[in-house]
Each structure stands twice: as structure tokens, then as C-alpha cells.
Structure 1
């Protein structure tokens, strides 16, 4: 082959490679554009641990136990909740409305459910109606056939994390409302929005050996999209909430780490938490959040079982003590009747 022809072929091949490289980022942008700004990772409702870039290192539990970051599953949907105006935003470029390739490995229905959670929280906070039409816009036409499943995922998340139940206003299903859940005891005790932050915090403390350093707690809160000194759309000023309000209400104990010279602080369960919930209930919350069984957390399951046994024994002793007191009172009454005072 003539040398000049070879040179032309090489030049043509180089131009083809340059065009391919130039088109790659555009294709990636087109895929990302359909989803808009990703509000949370694909693990938000399923409990997959976030990448190392999230700073999950200090939140690792002992090797025999799951990572503490599993508590972040399902709660990281708060990350973009403040962007209320973008809850039902349409794509500006119709050509981008194509489903992302399955090779990306993301659970797209979970992402859609996560966006619905943000929308529901926005509407609930703003006391505005929840419309099916808006929810369909968020889901987009490519996934409307999966609308029922997506709504079910979002509804389960709202019930589990926030204690709010999604209900149709009318049988037509064109509008919805959020009400306090009635099928779970904690819903009646811990209402929105406190429940949405308190239960995950209690889970972090439990998975970290029943105490969590302030550094660990803030790393976890950052994964939820909650930052020290930054006002949160749902929870307000976070430091004041967790170090003052929840401490004053005796849900948390915030104290200096004992037997150290450093000014380090840690969080523990408060007396009101011990009275109103249990390790088993919090473990059930963590397991359900990750779509696992409580026995998938063997170390913490054994601890929760011991806690249940101790609680049962304490109740039995209290009931026995109350019974003895009642019997003694009855005996005294009977004695006084048998031996009346003489006049």
C-alpha cells in the first residue's frame, strides 16, 4: 500500500477516535439529564453502603457487625428536600427523555421513589396538596407502567422513617394526603419531623456499641444531607436539635467522653428512649430499612434479645412487687375489720 494512502488512513482513524471521545461526555450528560439532579444514591431505600467518598470510614462497626452506614439507607432522601421548587420540574430538553441503560447498575425505580419522597415531604411541609399529576411528572413517561410500585416504595419509606402514611383523598386516586401512621406504636410517640431524625440517630448509637462520638454522628448526618450550622428544610438548625432539644427531652444524652483529657463528646440513648422503645424495635427499623431480616445482624440481634429478656424480668419483678403491695394492703384492711377500735 502506498505510504501516502497509509497516512490518510491513520489520520482518518485518529479523527474517528476524537469524534468518539467528544461524543462520550455528551451521551453521559444526556443520560443524566433525563433524571435531572440526582437527589440521592440508589442505596437510599435499599440500604447499600455508600462509597468511600462519603466518609463512611469512621462509621464502620466491628467486623462481625454491619456497617453503621446501613442506617443511612432510606433516610438520605432528605438530601435534596429543600429544593421544593424542583420537585415536579420537567426536562427542558425532550430529546433527553430516554431511559438510562440498564448497564449502569442502578435501581431506577428506587431513584424514582426517592424523588417522590422529596416531593411528598415538600408538600407536607408547605401544606400544599399532593397531586397524582405532579407525581406522574416526577416518575416520567418511561416508568409510568411502574407507578404503583414506585408509589408503594415511597409510601413505605414515609411510613417507616417519618411515621406518615400516604392515603388517597378519594377513590379516584387523583390526590393524596399524609396522615400520622396508626399501625406502629412509635408513630404515636414520635411524630413528624422528630421521628425522621431520631430513629436513625438511635440506630447509629446502637450499631456503634451503644455510644457514638460526635464526629461519627456528624459524619452520619452529613450522609443524610444534614450539616452543622446549615439550616435544614425539615429539621431546622441541626446542632440545636440534637445537642439541646433532644437532650432536654431526654431522648439523647450528650456528654463529654469520660476518662479522657480531650474535649471530645459522645451521644448515648437517653432515659426517655429506653422507656419508649427498645433495642429490638430499633433493630427491626434498621432491618426493614435495608430489606433484611433482623437475624442478618447476628451480633446486635443477640444483644437485642438480652435486652428483651432483661426488660421482661424487670416487668415481672415490678408486677410481683405491685401484687405483694396489693396483698399486704388487703391484709391490713381485713385485720382492721376483725379488730375494730373499742368505743
Structure 2
């Protein structure tokens, strides 16, 4: 009996180790894919296109478009390494052309813009086309509870100068009767949504504060939020909440209407 138990434990340990090795191996393969991938030159792309039919290029572009749309449903960024490995595959010599055609499809058909938010890791996301006045960013006017939660978190960060300790977020949410220590009927694990889901989606950055004991973390806006969220709208929201003119917060008003990211400036000018 004892021998059988030891054997079972050994098998479980072995299985766990195998899963960890497979997971580690998968990550390494993606990193290798990125390291070995060289962006094809214009002449290489041209030669690659000459070997393929129009139908083949269109089909591969359609597959890439569908892959991005599938990932975008959960707001998950797409790395170039995974795109080349799982979708582009043998068509890597015309990768730039496929991305260019996919970007054109997103803009013309879906009103979306394909944006590279991390040039080092070559990470892409889809955002609402910033040049289309009729389209509002998904976080400008919250229409569902989870988006509303994100809007509140971004508002706190913006009003406090761009970076806050995580405890301030939890304290604010408790005031709104959203207790991070309890399971919420709409959000489930609130802390996990904020520090994991919103971070993976690149709406937030969750960073350890150096030299703190016990360990502390800070939260700031992520690159997707910089592209999609209007600071002017956030200030309007805060003004309505406190029944004050948004201009009474001088620094925030200046940031929202003056020194903005290029994407936000484009959105603001298109909405006037």
C-alpha cells in the first residue's frame, strides 16, 4: 500500500515536471522564433509575392485578421513571434505585406487601427480608429460593469498624478462598495481583474515598488489606455461626480486639454 502511494506521488511529480517543461519549452520556442525572425526586405517581399497567387495571399491575410479579432475579444495583445509561428508560417517572407493588408482591412471594414504598442517585443493591439469621429473609444463611456470598474481605476490614477499605490485603489473601491477582499457578483475576484486581466490587456501597469518591506505595488496607465481613453472624458466624469467645473482641477485640465499623447490629441480634435 505504502509502495503504491509512493509510486503515485512519484508519477504526479513526474507529470507536473513534464507540464512545466512543456510550458517552459513553449515559451522558449516563441522567444527563439522572435530571435531568429528577420523582417524581410522590400525585394524579398516582392520575390515572395511573385511565387504566390492573389488568392493565397488573400486567404492568409484573412486568417491573420480572424486571429487578431479572436484575440481582441478578450483584449489580449498579439506578439509577432506567435503570429509568425502559428499563423503566417511558410508565408513569413511576405509578412510585412500580410500585416499591411490586414491593417487596411481592419481600417476599412471594421473601423479599427492595428497598433504596435511594444516595438521591442513587437506586440500589437487593435484600437478604435482614432481618425473616425463617429467612433468612441470603448472606455470613454462605460456601458458594462467591468468597463465601469476600469474607468474608475483609471480615473483615480489620473487624478493622483499618473501613479498610485495599489492600496489607494482598493480603498477607493471599498468606498464604492466593491470590496477587493470579497468575491463580487459582477467581477468575481476584483483584485485579479485589476492586477491580472487589465494588465494583460495593457490597460494598466502593475509594478513592484523597489526596496519596500513588506512588498508594495504601484499602478499606472498602460499603453492601451493611452490610446483608447480620453482624459477629458475622465475629467468630465469626475466633475459630475463632485458637482464641480472640470477646470477647477487646473493641472489635470491642462493635461487633458493640452499636453496629451498624439492619439489622445487626435481623438480630442476629432470630437470637437
The TM-score with structure 2 as length reference comes to: 0.43
User: Radius of gyration: which is bigger?
Assistant: 1
The TM-score with structure 1 as length reference comes to: 0.35
**Greater RCO (Cα-Cα under 8 Å, separation 6 or more):** 1
